[in-house]
Amino acid sequence: MNRKYIVYIAVFSLLAINSCLREPDDEKKVVIRLSIPEADLPMTRSGENLINTIDVLAFKIEDDGTETFLYRSEATRSSGANYTVGVRRNNYADQRLVLIANARSQIAELFNGRADRWVGHEKELMLRNLTVELTNHWDVAAPHPMWSEVTINSSTTSITARMMRMTAKINVQLGSGLGAFQLRSVHVYNRNTLGRIAPNSNNIADEKAHKATPPTGATPTRQRLDYVVPPATPHAFWDAIYIFETAANRTNDFLDETCIVVGIETAVWGANYPPITYYRIDFINATTGAYLDILRNHLYAVNITQINGPGVTDPNDPFNPDNPDFGFRVKQYNLVTDDVRPWDMGAGSGDRDIGEVYYLNINQSVFQFDAAERNASSIDNLLTVETNFSNLSWAVSATQLSETTLSPDWLRVEPQGRFNMMTSLRLRVDANPNLTARTAWVHVKTGSWAKTVRVVQAGRN
């Protein structure tokens, strides 16, 4: 059952609240009910549901559908959970009210130095400048900036608005069948350090975000964000990881996708492995394999139900293609799917499996040849690939200099095509007629995982 955090805003003439409202006759009374749904399981932190301030930005709805800024109001708490704010009549025309919670300092900065007070500017042009920067962990006790918008007209007397947090939350837990394993750490990669408080309204439908609205020019950082799981709760890490929205498939390189790496301790693998190894978990569609946007006000609940092999020894290994252990006994698959639930739908109680832990192995990550040709009779040009994907294929391609350049004319991989399980491939290399060395890369891909093999051939001298 969902609990509702309800705030009533009585809207009426109050000159002390809004200096933009000059005449009492220019105002009307409206009651706005704000709801912030929260899940019963797991228990949410208080900071997720706090409302300390409410600011109202009013926009005129033009005949062509564009929305231009009119005025700003600051709501003040009158008693308990009641707020008051003044709203202009605007000649009884329709208005779009954008409600912003817990961001008064950012609102003030938005207007600072603006002689025109943004009046007449389009909504998206204005709101995209309303951002928050976060380079470290979110303070779990701090209130989350929130957004909503409603439409009022001359006959509106009351209306309900659903507030949406600008953050996404990630919870991780081990399933009940993993008693021999303990969750020790969670590491977040490729997160945005800058977030928009107000989304592009075109990305919202049915009171939910369906597409991320990252700030213009925001580039996720690969610098990881580390979380240590308290020893007292070694099987779950809830209500601690909050990040901003990120868009998927920005570069078509899985190394740039938002993901988490979990450190899991066990003695199951024996003395040949360290007690803690690491597994990468991606946020992808379980059916299509496509990466998902990280969306505001969504809870991503990762419930690990199976671990079929040891992970890697360093949490950075999934982001170092030159590491020979890259992808070793690969650490997938969650999946958090695209039906991940907003906080108001009790997503914390819903299971999300990571399924079987797959691996993708190659016999070596670097081939170094002299200038001579390598053909079907050579013995030093065999690339062996092994995976336990039983029903997913993988493919091999070769490129020169980078992922985006054309295939080299001097390096071929045989046979070509898509394969299953274990396959031996041969690197066919033409003799190098040049005095300088040359380099190319072979890419082995399966699902959302890839391994890169560097091929270096010396010059003829």
Question: Among 1.25.40, 2.60.40, 3.30.360, 1.10.760, what is the CATH number of 168-358?
Answer: 2.60.40
pLDDT digits (tens, 9 = 90+) for 347-358: 222 333 443 445
Locus of tokens 């062996």: 384
- For the chain, the domains span 3-164, 168-358, 361-457
Q: Indicate the length of the chain as a whole number.
A: 461
Buried residues in 25-63 as b, exposed as e (16+ CB within 10 A)? eebbebebebbbbbbeebebbebbbbbebbbbbbbbbee
Range 3-164 has CATH code 2.60.40: yes
What span, in angstroms and rounded, lies between the C-alpha atoms of 460 and 434? 6
* Alpha-carbon span 400 to 439, nearest angstrom: 7
Given this chain, do its domains 3-164 and 361-457 carry the same CATH topology? yes
Predicted TM-score (pTM) of the model is 0.70
Most confident of 1-10, 122-131, 133-142, 293-302: 122-131
Q: What is the pLDDT of residues 320-334, one digit of tens each?
A: 544 433 333 323 333
CATH number of 361-457: 2.60.40.10
Instruction: Please tell me the predicted confidence (pLDDT) of residue 332.
Output: 34
- The pLDDT assigned to 277 comes to 87
Using alpha carbons, list the distances in angstroms from residue 141 to 36, 76, 98, 271, 394.
Answer: 16, 22, 25, 41, 45
